[in-house]
Structure 1
């Protein structure tokens, strides 16, 4: 991507950044030719990339709030079956995570997929992007 950084608003940069992270190319954010943000905001984008990349690396559907809510109060047999099925669909759930993080400016569904301990940090990034 080449271009004048003024062509890219924060929402568009967020989309590019999350797409790069989801394609395992987040290191391209370090390169001004690939990620055309203003120089004074590069540190923010690198920090945001690092946080989102870490959430993505550590993503475990079986540990996310959505799964916990789906099995709450269910029988041991149901929990065992749901756990087995979820483990078999891990690639599908990783795709769900990628779509949710890319859509986080428009939807809160990512918060059902990440640990509560990460909510404040991600909300801070999203608020900065929307500011």
Structure 2
């Protein structure tokens, strides 16, 4: 089988940390659908899981009626991702005190996932408009 050149995939999550399991199933489905290399799949999983869990925990707090939508577009050799959610104003990629030398040992375990996300994802863009958070980026596949 040859790699698919252009495939779109969308998934919606509720604002519950239990939804991370749904993401894990989606990653397995994408592995079959897109036939991308394990390295790219691993990076995609790190980034999406970190952004999903961070948004649910920090953006929704106790609110359970929220939504998070992820739209992925595989255009070899990259995957473009857009996330939209109705959490409070929350930019998950805004990290303070990341050392410029990328010394992970100085980061708390909770920050490590976001540090990796910022290093893996390219062209990260965030906006808050119409009561929704918008985040877009790409990952090399």
Greater fraction of residues in helix: 1
- The structure having more radius of gyration, on CA atoms, is 1
TM-score range, shorter chain: 0.3 to 0.5
